[in-house]
Amino acid sequence: MASSTSLCYGENLMSAIVHLRAREILDSRATPTLEVSLTLEDGTEARASVPSGASKGKWEAFELRDGDPTRYAGQGVLKSVALVEGEIASLVAGMEASEQAQLDAALCALDRAYPEGSETSQQEGCLKSYLGAQACLAVSLACARAAAVSLGIPLYRHLGGVEARTLPVPMMNILNGGAHANNTLAVQEFMLVPSGASDFPDALRMGTECYAALKSLLEAQGLSTSLGDEGGFAPSLKSTQAALDLMMQAIDKAGFKAGADATLALDCAASSYFEGHNEKHENKHENKQRYALDGVVHDGESYLALLKSWIKNYPIVSLEDPFAEEDWQGWSNATEALGDKVQLVGDDLFVSQEERLRQGLASGAGNALLLKPNQVGTLSEAMSCGRLALYSGWGCVVSHRSGDTEDSFIADLATGLNCGQIKTGAPARSERVAKYNRLLRIHEELGSEARYKWSGAQSGAQRGGQSGAQSGGASTGVLAGRGGLRTCDKV
Ligand code: PGA
Ligand code: ZN
């Protein structure tokens, strides 16, 4: 319950942090992760937990693990528990929960001032290398949630202010490959995008009906319907094309029109099938990038031609990590060739960090950011990276991790940022469904104020320098699909 005084910024603030408690819990892959409970002076208590990736970007913030082989194969997080209840608790005690930026800046400063000879290791060039991303993020998210409760407003409203009312278009990962499945598919995620839905509940229904249709198609063909890490099916298929064909059949079988009602998105996670880093660094003019998938080893040029053929033959609106995290040249070439037709999302490339995103903005590599708060380690840093993308006219997709928890924070984050896109797996497995269900509740709460529209990133030229997404969706969304660009105004 909010106290009346806590609503008066600047005087008699009652939302000072008084207590932190941390615990080791499990994520959806049976790996330990961190949860933090944070208590305020007014009695408010809020909890937050953090996810973990499997196909991590090389430049992600440091993930601290105990390394004790006698517990959870070294994956325990008791060091993080001790850091939260020790140094971090002393640091943040007395801070106002509504002053998120101040709290996050203090966490970053403490991380940089790591003590000599400290037990946890400083990894060179790696953010949060002393405290670990988990401790920083769990405290940061719990603080935001506590502030919202104390202020008596929904979390998305606290994060985004009065204009926070765009429900994100879900990119539903219904067919899994790569590091998230033990099948032979190189491409990691085949996502269904209900871009033609009228609102978020309709989108969720459409995506779920396509998911069910895909299951019956797999059963009919005697293929496995076991699930990958993000809840999508993980059958053994011969090629990317076979997977894309199945997605198209599922859309059709569910009674929708591919390209109009539903479109497709891929997360290639291409770093996992990229070869030739060394050659590239020795002589970058010698186009020695190699992408090995579907039994063929492609050079940069033939790989780009392959991507073009996918986009030509299927209604693909978004391609995430189509090139490897160190292949800036490949990214720039692809953006020049495809950036006006399809959203090109940098996940491993940008790792939700402003510095790397600025490099992408300057070199024309990509036109959208994948935003995973644990890649950078605090809420403020994640939000300012998301805003930088949106204010630059780029797309921004808020994302879960393949190892996740029941915490639905990212549903509020996507709504708060008005970014219009979320990636949170298949409509199956409770850690994924928790985010979808939270979005249904947000939709209900917003009532007629709720907005839903597809607004995938396009090139600056296409958008005319205008960034519609961050303005709350008042502008016309642009849909890239089969047959080129067309507008899709659902405001
Ligand atoms: P991860 O995968 O959480 O395993 O990194 C998600 C993604 O690559 O987008
Ligand atoms: Zn990814």
Task: Tell me which of 154 and 469 has the higher pLDDT.
Answer: 154
Q: Which whole number is the average pLDDT over 24-45?
A: 98
Q: Which whole number is the average pLDDT over 447-452?
A: 97
- Cβ < 6 Å from ligand 1: which residues? 53-56, 267, 269, 347, 399, 401-402
Read off the pLDDT band of 469 (50, 70, 90): very low
Asked if residue 4 has pLDDT above 60, the reply is no
**How many degrees, rounded to 5, is the angle at CA 69 between CA 61 and CA 72?**
70
User: 28, 55, 176, 396: which to mutate for ligand 1, most atoms within 8 A of CB?
Assistant: 55
85 is catalytic: no
Q: Which residues surround ligand 2, an ion (CB under 5 A)?
A: 267, 320, 347
pLDDT, position 277: 52
Asked if residue 489 has pLDDT above 90, the reply is no
Round to whole Å and give the CA distance between 222 and 243. Answer: 15
Nearest atom (ligand 1) to Cα of 320:
9
Round to whole Å and give the CA distance between 286 and 269. Answer: 23
Round to whole Å and give the CA distance between 375 and 350. Answer: 9
Q: Domain boundaries in the chain?
A: 2-152, 161-490
Which of 83, 63, 66, 62 shows the shortest CA–CA distance to 127?
Answer: 62
Read off the pLDDT band of 444 (50, 70, 90): very high
pLDDT, position 278: 44
pLDDT, position 460: 39
Of the ligands numbered here, which is closest to the C-alpha atom of 402? 1
Task: Tell me which of 458 and 303 has the higher pLDDT.
Answer: 303
Dist. CA 267 → ligand 2 center (Å): 5
> Is residue 69 classed exposed, middle or buried when 0-12, 13-18 and 19+ CB atoms within 10 A define those classes?
exposed
Which of 256, 257, 235 shows the shortest CA–CA distance to 246?
Answer: 235
Dist. CA 401 → ligand 1 center (Å): 5
**H/E run at residue 293:** strand 290-293
pLDDT, position 490: 29
Q: Which whole number is the average pLDDT over 100-120?
A: 85
Which of 391, 329, 396, 324 shows the shortest CA–CA distance to 364?
Answer: 329
Active-site residue among 372, 423, 435, 453? 372
230 is catalytic: yes
Asked if residue 160 has pLDDT above 70, the reply is yes
Asked if residue 151 has pLDDT above 60, the reply is yes
Read off the pLDDT band of 122 (50, 70, 90): low
Of the ligands numbered here, which is closest to the C-alpha atom of 399? 1
pLDDT, position 484: 27
Of the ligands numbered here, which is closest to the C-alpha atom of 55? 1
Read off the pLDDT band of 123 (50, 70, 90): low
pLDDT, position 150: 97
pLDDT per residue over 64-90, tens digit each? 999 999 999 999 999 999 999 999 999
CATH architecture, range 2-152:
2-Layer Sandwich (3.30)
**Least confident piece of the model among 7-16, 126-135, 149-158, 393-402:** 7-16
Q: Which whole number is the average pLDDT over 198-217?
A: 98
Dist. CA 110 → ligand 2 center (Å): 30
Q: What is the CATH number of domain 161-490?
A: 3.20.20.120
Is the pTM value of this prediction over 0.85?
A: yes
Asked if residue 50 has pLDDT above 80, the reply is yes
User: Among positive and negative, which fits the CA dihedral 425, 204, 349, 327?
Assistant: positive
User: What is the end-to-end Cα distance of the chain in Å, rounded?
Assistant: 34
User: 402, 405, 421, 429: which to mutate for ligand 1, most atoms within 8 A of CB?
Assistant: 402
**Least confident piece of the model among 117-126, 151-160, 424-433:** 117-126
30: left (phi over 0), alpha (psi -120 to 50) or beta: left
Q: Give the phi and the psi of residue 177 in degrees, each rounded to 5.
A: -145, -155
Asked if residue 475 has pLDDT above 70, the reply is no
- Two tokens at 490? 């659902």
pLDDT per residue over 315-351, tens digit each? 999 999 999 999 999 999 999 999 999 999 999 999 9
Nearest atom (ligand 1) to Cα of 229:
4
pLDDT, position 391: 97
